[in-house]
A = this chain, B = another copy of it.
Amino acid sequence: MATTPLLELQNLAFERDDWPLFESLSIALCAGDVMQISGPNGCGKTTLLHILTTLHSPSYGSVLWRGEAINGSAIYLAELAFIGHQPGVKLALTARENMRWCLGLFAPRKNITIDTALDSAGLNTCKDVPCSTLSAGQLRRVALAALYLRDATLWLLDEPLTALDSDAIADLESLFETHRRAGGIIVFSSHQALSIDGVRNLALAEFTAKVH
């Protein structure tokens, strides 16, 4: 495995309206790393993920990707896949149509079709019904199907296990394994532990700013 870090967080701090949330956060992730952000409710996991997507900017410190500071440039975004709390799925469209739209925005993996991606996500029976008729877990699966489809190195996932049943969690774990073997990086937040080996843990509460 490569030893030069791909993603580096350098002395990162975030304050919202001058109210500090976390500080002095430094981490380096190499190809093949899987990191779980854990910590009590409200410690800033979602905020940290948003910073990594460039949706928020850090108050101090910087985030480097391949040695360069990230700044919403297309180069970084092209390597990034983010799935947040909201699934990002149009309820009026079918799962297949949603995936087609996803391909309009992002580069696809080689050798994969929308059909196989949806099958892998366990949606074989409901590819062509409007997503408004899907259950909470099925909707999350549609969102996660994008991970099978897209060609991205860095995955940022905010509580990806929400609403998933045990089969879907097992599928996701094996997907994580495949991605790390291919040299990808996964950063995800969750309150549940995954049953894959070598997951690095970032206990965010340790970096909570002292003033708080």
A: residues with CB less than 8 A from B are 39-42, 45-46, 85, 122, 126, 134-138, 140-141, 159, 162-169, 191-192
Q: Which residues on the B side are within 8 Å of A141 (C-beta)?
A: 41
A136 and B164 within 8 A (CB): no
Copies of this subunit: 2
Closest-by-CB residue of B relative to A139 is: B41
In-complex Cβ contact of A165 among B41, B85, B126, B140 (8 A) = B41
Question: What is the CB-to-nearest-CB distance from A126 to chain B, in angstroms, rounded to a whole number?
Answer: 8
B159 and A42 within 8 A (CB): no
A135 and B39 within 8 A (CB): no
CA distance A87 to B137 in the complex (A): 17
Q: Which residues on the B side are within 8 Å of A137 (C-beta)?
A: 40-42, 191
Q: 17 A-B contacts, Cβ less than 8 Å apart? A: A40-B167, A41-B122, A41-B136, A41-B140, A41-B163, A41-B164, A41-B165, A42-B138, A45-B135, A136-B159, A137-B191, A159-B163, A162-B162, A163-B191, A165-B191, A166-B191, A169-B191
CA distance A198 to B166 in the complex (A): 21
Q: Which residues on the B side are within 8 Å of A165 (C-beta)?
A: 39-41, 191
In-complex Cβ contact of A136 among B46, B140, B192 (8 A) = B46
Q: Which residues on the B side are within 8 Å of A167 (C-beta)?
A: 40
